[in-house]
Copies of this chain bind each other. A is one copy, B any other.
Amino acid sequence: MDNRPIGVFDSGVGGLTVLREIRKLLPDENLIYFGDTARVPYGTKSKRTITAFAGQIVEFLLKKNVKLIVAACNTVSSNSLSYLKQHYPIPIIGVIEPGVELALKLTKNRHIGVIGTQSTINSKRYKILLLKSDKKLKISEKACPLFVPIAEEGLAGSAIAEMAIKNYLTKIKAKKIDTLILGCTHYPLLEKPLEKFFSKKVHLVNSGYAVSIIVKQLLSNKGLLNKRSRAGKISLFVSDLNETVLNVVKHTLELKQIRPKIISLD
């Protein structure tokens, strides 16, 4: 038993969907979140800068005495994870491999869709990992740049969300994928309209859910689970506090309003 917190970080607030999944599966754990909202987005920055920023965040979380860190950010997971794992003496889990593994378990027709930001799709990171495990997989990718601002604006339930989904995903739907990787931590906020669009016939892979399973396994194997009977504490930190942050905190966590604290890492 180990009551130290689990650290979760993202370039912004999308990673809160990952925090939410960990919370669901491991309600007793204390959780600390850091969102680098002053320097978001990372997708347009160089690998070197992304790794430097991620390193600063890991050091902040280590000072908070975390027992495990989740890099709940696709950009950090694809650019900096191996560096972070080598340089810090703590288990660090990204969001890409867990999503890929879950998708491979779920697909029956071996045709997987991948959606994400332009930078994630351009990186081909998901495609490369999927093909590594099965060269014959069919993969259909699509960048969906409107999904993040729609989620951040709390418009997931609106007709705008439905139209944006139709705009981006009509072709992928026609190709008969049976599994869709939500390759951006914001996208689980659009889970309901996405399920509606695909008439629940497509498995939606929420990497946060996939990550939470791995976190539980890892903590359990190492005897690091926190088995208290009351709910764990959630602490939120951001580098800039604005309305978007408060919006997403409200829509994602559905807990009584938690006000994030502001911390500068510069």
Picked from B119, B122, B145, the residue with its CB within 8 Å of the CB of A149 is B145
B-contacting residues, A165-189, CB 8 Å: 167
- The yes or no answer to A255 lying at the interface (CB within 8 A) is no
Flag if B145 contacts A152 (CB, 8 Å).
yes
Flag if A160 contacts B152 (CB, 8 Å).
no
Name the residue in A118, A155, A164, A167 with the highest tally of chain B Cβ atoms < 10 Å from its Cβ: A164
Interface segment, A2-10, A36-44, A83-91? A36-44
Flag if B118 contacts A243 (CB, 8 Å).
yes
- The yes or no answer to A158 lying at the interface (CB within 8 A) is yes
How far, in angstroms, from A167 to B145 measured CA to CA in the complex?
Answer: 19
Closest to A148 in B: B149
B-contacting residues, A108-143, CB 8 Å: 118-119, 122
Copies in the complex: 2
- The yes or no answer to A240 lying at the interface (CB within 8 A) is yes
Q: Measured between C-beta atoms, what is the minimum distance from A31 to chain B in Å?
A: 25
B residues less than 8 Å from A164 (CB atoms): 160
B residues less than 8 Å from A158 (CB atoms): 163, 167
B residues less than 8 Å from A195 (CB atoms): none
Q: Measured between C-beta atoms, what is the minimum distance from A247 to chain B in Å?
A: 10
How far, in angstroms, from A160 to B38 measured CA to CA in the complex?
Answer: 29
Flag if B146 contacts A242 (CB, 8 Å).
no
How far, in angstroms, from A159 to B158 measured CA to CA in the complex?
Answer: 13
- The yes or no answer to A150 lying at the interface (CB within 8 A) is yes
B residues less than 8 Å from A145 (CB atoms): 149, 152-153, 244
- The yes or no answer to A192 lying at the interface (CB within 8 A) is no
Picked from B38, B122, B155, B242, the residue with its CB within 8 Å of the CB of A118 is B242
Picked from B38, B44, B167, B240, the residue with its CB within 8 Å of the CB of A38 is B44
Flag if A159 contacts B152 (CB, 8 Å).
no
Q: Scan A222-247; emit 1 where CB is below 8 A from any B CB, else 0.
A: 00000000000000000010111000
**Contact residues of A with B, CB < 8 Å?**
37-40, 44-46, 118-119, 122, 145-146, 148-150, 152-153, 155, 158-160, 163-164, 167, 240, 242-244
